């Protein structure tokens, strides 16, 4: 008879919260694991949850199959002809150096990604056809991955398991973490092919930084709350850089309106994150954009960048959306690294 997998219960959620509050310290039956990227002086140790804790949290009869220096695995018993449910914790994650790198790879594989803000603003889940992985920085700042699989179901059905065990395995912290790069972008620039959608995290991947993505409707429209200025006013206050990337939605507005709106957006970012390096990317234009409108936008955005003391980067012309956005990510990464943001 096939063993069923039950959903998380209210008690399980409360147990997960308790795990975060207690910091997931060492406990009987658990295997301590330390990440090689952890700061030498750090006293915090990552600990694999015991099989009993995982079973209680997920309301699933998991047993421990392996616990070693690089992580741990949990599995359910499988009847003949059926697959076993499985959870694997990897600390540190060996397939990516940063959350940004992991997200780029997941998006370009075609995985379904979703933010996991309860475990850090750069934490996320990535669901493939067969499993789901929760990526997050553990208690010592080391990137950790929890992969879960439910027998006979698509990967999205296992995201609750991955998230629950990630919560139990280690609370998020910025201790010894990478710098934060806030990317404030026009939302239409994230609606293309999966290859194009990975560009914000390519910036972080190239310089070893965390990426906080905020999307708006543009510098001007339709309201302050959804404009790039509104989004910029809510970026992380400790951001090391703020990068603005827009399309051509403002092409029909007056040049003065564009200049005022772009200057307001840059001012909002500077007020929110005073130490942030400001970068303005010129309008990312599609093949149907009016060349004259694009040129006028370039002039005003360059002027706004000059007024705010920001660096201005011109995107390449006459390229596909994917190629343009990848080139933008590479140029921004190079500029930030030259300015001392990220690895150097």
pLDDT digits (tens, 9 = 90+) for 13-62: 333 333 332 333 333 333 333 333 333 334 445 667 788 888 888 888 88
Q: H-helix or E-strand containing 56?
A: helix 51-58
> How many Cα atoms are found within 13 Å in the side-chain-facing hemisphere of 344?
10
Is residue 219 reached through a cis peptide bond, with omega within 30 degrees of 0 on the bond before it? Answer: no
**165 with 219, same domain?**
no
- Indicate whether 192 and 101 sit together in one domain: no
Beta strands in the chain (DSSP E): 32-33, 46-47, 63-68, 71-75, 86-90, 112-115, 124-127, 132-137, 143-149, 180-186, 210-216, 241-245, 277-281, 311-313
* Domain presence at residue 344: no
Q: Of 120-134, 291-305, 318-332, which gets the smallest average pLDDT?
A: 318-332
The CB density around residue 109, as the number of other CB atoms within 10 Å, is 11
Query: In CATH, what number is assigned to the domain containing residue 251?
Result: 3.40.50.1110
Mean pLDDT of 78-86: 70
* pLDDT at residue 331, as a whole number: 93
* pLDDT at residue 80, rounded to an integer: 60
Q: How many domains does the chain have?
A: 2
Q: Where is average pLDDT lowest: 195-199, 223-227, 231-235? A: 195-199
Give the domain-ending residue among 115, 142, 169.
Answer: 169
| Tokens matching residue 106 | 């997941």
Task: Name 301's Cβ contacts closer than 8 Å, sequence gap at least 6.
Answer: 246, 258, 262, 280, 282, 283, 312
The reply to whether 245 and 272 lie within a common domain is yes
Nearest to 190 by CA among 332, 330, 322: 322
Q: Does residue 174 lie within any of the structural domains?
A: no
- List the domain range (segments joined by +) for residue 125: 19-169
The string over 172-182, giving b where at least 16 C-beta atoms fall within 10 Å of a residue's C-beta and e elsewhere, is bbeeebbbbbb
Question: Is the same domain home to 98 and 155?
Answer: yes
Same domain, 149 and 208: no
Report long-range pairs for 336-341 (Cβ below 8 Å, ≥24 apart).
336/181, 336/203, 336/207, 336/209, 336/241, 336/243, 336/277, 336/279, 337/206, 337/207, 339/241, 339/277, 339/311, 341/179, 341/181, 341/207, 341/209, 341/240, 341/241, 341/277
Of these ranges, 43-57, 71-85, 151-165, 220-234, the one predicted with the greatest mean pLDDT is 151-165
Residue 149 resides in a domain: yes
In this structure, the answer to whether residues 238 and 285 fall within a common structural domain is: yes
Pick 66 or 103 by higher pLDDT.
103
**pLDDT for position 265:** 94
**Contact criterion met (CB below 8 Å) for 96 and 143:** yes
| pTM of structure | 0.70
Instruction: Provide the mean pLDDT of the chain.
Output: 78
CB-based burial label for 141 (10 Å; 0-12, 13-18, 19+): buried
Give the position of tokens 């950790």.
144
Residue 7 has pLDDT above 50, yes or no: no
Is residue 2 domain-resident?
no
- CB-CB neighbours of 309 under 10 Å: 10
């Amino acid at each position: 008879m096939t063993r069923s997998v039950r959903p998380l219960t209210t008690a399980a959620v409360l147990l997960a919260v308790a795990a975060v509050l207690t910091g997931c310290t060492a406990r009987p039956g658990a295997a301590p694991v330390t990440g090689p990227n952890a700061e030498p002086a750090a006293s915090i140790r990552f600990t694999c949850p015991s099989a009993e804790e995982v079973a209680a949290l997920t309301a699933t009869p998991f047993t421990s199959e392996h616990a070693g220096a690089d992580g741990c695995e949990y599995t359910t018993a499988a009847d003949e002809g059926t697959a076993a449910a499985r959870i694997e914790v990897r600390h540190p994650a060996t397939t990516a150096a940063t959350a940004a790198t992991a997200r780029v790879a997941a998006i370009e594989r075609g995985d379904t990604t979703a933010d996991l803000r309860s475990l850090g603003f750069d934490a996320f889940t990535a669901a493939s056809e067969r499993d789901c992985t929760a990526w997050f920085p553990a208690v010592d700042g080391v990137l950790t991955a929890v992969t879960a699989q439910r027998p006979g179901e698509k990967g999205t059905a296992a995201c609750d398991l991955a998230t629950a065990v990630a919560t139990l395995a280690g609370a998020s912290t910025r201790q010894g973490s990478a710098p934060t790069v806030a990317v404030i972008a026009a939302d239409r620039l994230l609606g293309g092919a999966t290859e194009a959608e990975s560009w914000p995290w390519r910036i972080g991947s190239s310089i070893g930084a965390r990426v906080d993505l905020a999307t708006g409707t543009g510098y001007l429209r339709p309201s302050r709350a959804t404009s790039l200025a509104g989004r910029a006013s809510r970026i992380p206050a400790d951001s090391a850089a703020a990068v603005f990337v827009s399309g051509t939605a403002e092409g029909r507005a007056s040049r003065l309106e564009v200049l005022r709106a772009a200057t307001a957006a840059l001012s909002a970012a500077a007020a929110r994150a005073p130490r942030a390096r400001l970068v303005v990317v010129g309008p990312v234009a599609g093949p149907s954009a009016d060349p004259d409108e694009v040129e006028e936008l370039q002039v005003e955005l360059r002027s706004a960048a000059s007024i705010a003391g920001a660096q201005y980067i011109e995107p390449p012309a006459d390229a596909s959306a994917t190629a343009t956005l990848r080139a933008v990510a590479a140029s921004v990464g190079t500029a930030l690294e030259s300015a001392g943001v990220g690895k150097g």
